[in-house]
């Protein structure tokens, strides 16, 4: 390499019009034969490579494309297939087995799925229980050959590194980690030898786990891993790629025996400070992540050019690569078709294709001087200035309120014990009150009506009547089932974040801004582009209508500020903390509107609180402090008798129990049924003195649980929790379930509750 070049780490799989998703789902539905599926996927894959080639990217990634998930690709490449799927252990894993691991089949449950670091992408967790791994298919080699033969591209194979792969796997004890490294490193070595023999020049080995805390013993394993891999293929250039944060042990990592190191320079200035303080080895290439691969805003090209020039003062241009901070998997494909947005916003968007263009412009500006790309720099500056000077980003009342956050109510008027007494007198609920989390089945007719209404094919009044009919139906059903606290069912809502974003100022929605969440499941995150402001009540009408149909309390249902923040693309000109306060203050107005309308039980859900944690534990406290404050800003300005509920998904509860307690919600419900025992253990070690409901059955499965299962779950919880503070509920919303199974499961839940209530009455009576 003689001069500064551009690189990319990965490209979205889904296709500009979600062609990938449609092909997969057609195959799963039996409408596409396997051979045709693979043909269609090859066409999509080659198109993506051609886009990168035409954009002018010098080092183009290959083997980042997947049939479902890149971690599942790695596991099956090494023959790591759970025994229940019946894989013979010989030859490439069949497509049918591959998809069974991801989705399950009639004979075997799917493997677990979890978040990819702190992104909203989910990967399939490899199960290593007693695995005997071997290299059954060299996927990177196949991808390299295809790109070279079909398009003349000298590709850069992408591999998930052994340390990260094993850290993200399950089915072993910590004491077995070193032995697993010894099992897998020879397989990686074999893979790399085959790439070297093929004439591959660069291989990108992704090790994002190195940005987390790595123990001394484990880092010694990392050093051993890369010494062995470098020795196995000495003619190959290994690029050790990290992202999502700065690395923990900078000097030791850049000294690893590889030919290149990839660092993320978009998360604060830690990586830059490390580089300028400790320098960089003279025999290595630095792949500098300059363009944010996780957000959708145009980069400030002059600022980024200045950043690369600072880096180039330490690492000469001939040993420097300019690239996105991470794979572009996390952003939509192209912003070209986004018509209908305000010009100030649409011009400022940069999806994957636009980010490739930015990388090329920055590299050229550094290599040839800014005069070579003057027009692009000037246009970029004008676009950013227009957005920043727009009315949407300069709502003085919002900014003043955030600046004076200390004057806003952020704690309840009374402590929990006093509120509990007031609420007990106000509501007179039975022992072990029962409720649900909020949503009821969104059947085909509900989805169809909403779609017709959105398209203008169904007028407002008929649509409102339709929604009210469903609310009335489910209020009646809840009363018949015997629930104590009811909900309206959320039939008017699509997504729990989108619904509120559409009703708050400062949000925008794309037509085609899809990103992969897991498998073929794609989501279209809202864009928080301006100052967030409450304009009018969002949930009052439906909730008040539901309350008019029953004498039992009906909960108002809101999505919390941190979940709205974490599940959106967020503006980057101010901090996430400031944005969270803007959302919180807007939601506080909705809470007051509900309370003023007579709704005095209000649930503000925060399922994404835990997943927003920074990757570095040292940064947790700051995040949790402002996240808790945002929640409390939303919920504190209410009477003692108004009962605030929240809901969370199971989240290593013990890690953040102090922060969850600090939310000061009167009742928290937690999705637990798949990890009930682990959570009960947490409560054995930590007391929790506020109201709580541990989900007593798993809503993710269509099966109706037996009464005995639920009574056992309730009984276990009541051994470590105060029965007077305990609520009975499913573990999550029921939006995706069928009507019959929902009703049957809730009837079973009520039956189990009555049994436990009776047991306590008998115990009190000494029977």
The pLDDT mean for the chain works out to 94
Question: Which letter, b or e, does each residue of 29-56 get, where b requires 16 or more Cβ atoms within 10 Å of its Cβ?
Answer: eeebeeeebeebbeebbbebbebbbebe
Residue 674 has pLDDT above 60, yes or no: no
Q: List, for residues 588-607, the tens digit of each pLDDT value.
A: 999 999 999 999 999 999 98
Q: List, for residues 18-38, the tens digit of each pLDDT value.
A: 999 999 999 999 999 999 999
Q: List, for residues 204-213, the tens digit of each pLDDT value.
A: 999 999 999 9
Residue 676 has pLDDT above 70, yes or no: no
Is residue 91 a part of any domain in this protein?
yes
Domain boundary among 391, 425, 449: 391
Q: Provide CB contacts within 8 A for 529, sequence distance 6+.
A: 345, 348, 387, 392, 393, 506, 507, 508, 571
Instruction: Tell me if 605 is assigned to a ligand binding site.
Output: yes
Reported as a pLDDT band with limits 50, 70 and 90, residue 541 is: very high
Q: Which domain holds residue 86?
A: 5-391
Residue 570 has pLDDT above 80, yes or no: yes
Q: List, for residues 615-643, the tens digit of each pLDDT value.
A: 999 999 999 999 999 999 999 999 999 99
What is the pLDDT at residue 247? 96
Interval 548-575 mean pLDDT: 97
Question: CATH no. for residue 575?
Answer: 3.20.20.210
Is residue 692 a part of any domain in this protein?
yes
Reported as a pLDDT band with limits 50, 70 and 90, residue 701 is: low
Instruction: Tell me if 44 is assigned to a ligand binding site.
Output: no
Interval 104-131 mean pLDDT: 91
The 10 Å Cβ neighbour count of residue 175 is 7
Q: List, for residues 222-270, the tens digit of each pLDDT value.
A: 999 999 999 999 999 999 999 999 998 999 999 999 999 999 999 989 9
Reported as a pLDDT band with limits 50, 70 and 90, residue 292 is: very high
Reported as a pLDDT band with limits 50, 70 and 90, residue 673 is: low
**Is-catalytic flag, 686?**
no
Same domain, 151 and 194: yes
Is residue 531 a part of any domain in this protein?
no
Interval 79-90 mean pLDDT: 92
Instruction: Tell me if 649 is assigned to a ligand binding site.
Output: yes
Instruction: Tell me if 652 is assigned to a ligand binding site.
Output: no
Q: List, for residues 102-113, the tens digit of each pLDDT value.
A: 998 888 888 988
Domain boundary among 333, 357, 391: 391
What is the pLDDT at residue 734? 86
Same domain, 419 and 552: yes
Is residue 527 a part of any domain in this protein?
no
Phi then psi for 349, rounded to 5 degrees? -90, 140
Reported as a pLDDT band with limits 50, 70 and 90, residue 15 is: very high
**Which has the higher per-residue pLDDT, 678 or 96?**
96
Q: List, for residues 436-459, the tens digit of each pLDDT value.
A: 998 999 989 999 999 999 999 999
Same domain, 250 and 358: yes
Q: Which of 421, 428, 424, 470 is nearest to 445 (CA)?
A: 470
N-terminal to C-terminal alpha carbon distance within the chain: 85
Is residue 504 a part of any domain in this protein?
no
Domain boundary among 391, 424, 459: 391
Instruction: Tell me if 107 is assigned to a ligand binding site.
Output: no
What is the pLDDT at residue 47? 98
Same domain, 300 and 225: yes
- Three-class secondary structure assignment of 104-116: CCCCCCCCCEEEC
Instruction: Tell me if 684 is assigned to a ligand binding site.
Output: no
Residue 612 has pLDDT above 80, yes or no: yes
Same domain, 365 and 448: no
Instruction: Tell me if 732 is assigned to a ligand binding site.
Output: yes
Whether 567 and 517 have beta carbons less than 8 Å apart is answered as no
Interval 191-213 mean pLDDT: 97
Active-site residue, selected from the candidate residues 90, 330, 488, 700: 700
Q: List, for residues 482-533, the tens digit of each pLDDT value.
A: 999 999 999 999 888 999 999 999 999 999 999 999 999 999 999 999 999 9
Reported as a pLDDT band with limits 50, 70 and 90, residue 688 is: confident
Instruction: Tell me if 21 is assigned to a ligand binding site.
Output: yes
Same domain, 685 and 643: yes
What is the pLDDT at residue 733? 87
Interval 560-577 mean pLDDT: 96
Number of domains present in the structure of the chain: 2
What is the pLDDT at residue 556? 97
Reported as a pLDDT band with limits 50, 70 and 90, residue 578 is: very high
What is the pLDDT at residue 743? 93
What is the pLDDT at residue 2? 61
Interval 416-432 mean pLDDT: 96
Same domain, 41 and 137: yes
Same domain, 152 and 228: yes
Same domain, 154 and 282: yes
Same domain, 567 and 670: yes
| Cα distance between residue 181 and residue 164, in whole Å | 11
Interval 474-487 mean pLDDT: 97
Whether 698 and 673 have beta carbons less than 8 Å apart is answered as yes
Is residue 167 a part of any domain in this protein?
yes
Same domain, 697 and 589: yes
Instruction: Tell me if 220 is assigned to a ligand binding site.
Output: no
Same domain, 387 and 433: no
Phi then psi for 138, rounded to 5 degrees? -90, 85
Reported pTM: 0.93
């Amino acid at each position: 390499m003689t001069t500064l070049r551009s690189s990319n780490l990965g490209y979205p799989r889904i296709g500009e019009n979600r062609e990938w998703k449609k092909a997969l789902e057609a195959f799963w539905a039996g409408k596409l034969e396997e051979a045709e599926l693979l043909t269609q996927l090859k066409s999509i894959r080659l198109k993506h490579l051609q886009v990168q080639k035409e954009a002018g990217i010098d080092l183009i990634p290959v083997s980042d494309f997947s049939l479902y998930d890149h971690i599942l690709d790695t596991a099956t490449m090494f023959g790591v297939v759970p025994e229940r799927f019946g894989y013979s252990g010989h030859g490439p894993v069949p497509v049918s087995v591959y998809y069974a691991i991801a989705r399950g089949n009639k004979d075997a449950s799917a493997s677990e799925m979890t978040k990819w670091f702190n992104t909203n992408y989910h990967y399939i967790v490899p199960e290593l229980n007693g695995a005997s791994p071997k290299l059954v298919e060299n996927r990177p080699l196949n991808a390299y050959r295809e790109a070279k033969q079909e398009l003349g591209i000298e590709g850069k194979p992408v591999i998930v590194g052994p340390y990260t792969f094993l850290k993200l796997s399950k089915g072993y004890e910590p004491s077995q980690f070193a032995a697993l490294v010894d099992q897998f490193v020879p397989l990686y070595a074999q893979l790399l030898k085959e790439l070297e023999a093929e004439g591959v020049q660069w291989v990108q080995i992704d090790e994002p786990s190195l940005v987390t805390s790595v123990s001394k013993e484990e880092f010694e394993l990392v050093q051993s891993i890369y010494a062995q891999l470098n020795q196995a293929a000495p003619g190959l250039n290994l690029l050790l790629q990290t992202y999502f944060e700065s690395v923990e042990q900078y000097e030791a990592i850049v000294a690893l025996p590889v030919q290149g190191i990839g660092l993320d320079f978009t998360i604060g200035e830690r990586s830059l400070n490390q580089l300028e303080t400790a320098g960089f080895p003279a025999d290595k290439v630095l792949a500098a992540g300059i363009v944010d691969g996780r957000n959708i805003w145009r980069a400030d090209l002059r600022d980024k050019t200045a950043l690369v020039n600072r880096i180039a003062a330490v690492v000469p241009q001939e040993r420097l690569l300019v690239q996105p901070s991470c794979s572009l998997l996390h952003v939509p494909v192209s912003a070209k078709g986004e018509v209908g947005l305000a010009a100030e916003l649409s011009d400022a968007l940069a999806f994957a294709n636009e980010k490739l263009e930015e990388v090329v412009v920055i590299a050229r500006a550094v290599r040839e001087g800014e005069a070579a790309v003057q027009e692009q720099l000037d246009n970029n500056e004008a676009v950013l200035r227009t957005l920043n000077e727009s009315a949407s980003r300069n709502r003085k009342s919002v900014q003043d309120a955030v600046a004076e956050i200390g004057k806003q109510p952020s704690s309840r008027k009374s402590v929990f014990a006093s509120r509990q007494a007031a609420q007990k007198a106000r509501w007179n609920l039975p022992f072990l009150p029962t409720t649900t989390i909020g949503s009821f089945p969104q059947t085909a007719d509900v989805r169809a009506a909403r779609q017709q209404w959105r398209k203008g094919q169904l007028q407002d009044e008929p649509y409102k009547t339709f929604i009210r009919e469903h609310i009335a139906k489910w209020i009646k059903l809840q009363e018949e089932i015997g629930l104590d606290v009811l909900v309206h069912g959320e039939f008017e809502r699509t997504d729990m974040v989108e619904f509120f974003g559409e009703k708050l100022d400062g949000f925008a929605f794309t037509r085609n801004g899809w990103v992969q969440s897991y498998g073929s499941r794609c989501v279209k995150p809202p864009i928080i582009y301006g100052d967030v402001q409450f304009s009018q009540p969002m949930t009052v009408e439906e909730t008040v209508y539901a309350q008019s149909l029953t004498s039992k309390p009906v909960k108002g249902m809101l999505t919390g500020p941190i979940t709205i923040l974490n599940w959106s693309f967020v503006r980057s000109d101010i901090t996430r903390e400031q944005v969270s306060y803007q959302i919180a203050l807007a939601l506080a107005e909705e809470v007051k509107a509900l309370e003023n309308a007579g709704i005095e039980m209000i649930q503000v859900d925060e399922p994404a609180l835990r997943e927003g944690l920074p990757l570095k534990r040292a940064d947790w406290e700051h995040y949790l402090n402002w996240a808790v404050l945002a929640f409390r800003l939303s919920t504190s300005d209410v009477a003692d008798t108004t009962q605030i509920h929240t809901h969370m998904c199971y989240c290593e509860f013990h890690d953040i129990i102090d922060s969850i307690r600090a939310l000061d919600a009167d009742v928290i419900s937690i999705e637990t049924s798949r990890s009930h025992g682990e959570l009960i253990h947490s409560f054995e070690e930590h007391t929790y003195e506020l109201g709580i409901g541990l989900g007593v059955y798993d809503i993710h499965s269509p099966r109706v649980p037996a009464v005995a299962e639920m009574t056992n779950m309730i009984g276990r919880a009541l051994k470590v929790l105060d029965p007077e503070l305990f609520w009975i509920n499913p573990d999550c919303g029921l939006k995706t379930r069928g009507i019959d199974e929902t009703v049957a499961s809730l009837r079973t839940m009520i039956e189990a509750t009555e049994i436990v209530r009776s047991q306590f009455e008998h115990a009190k009576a000494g029977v």
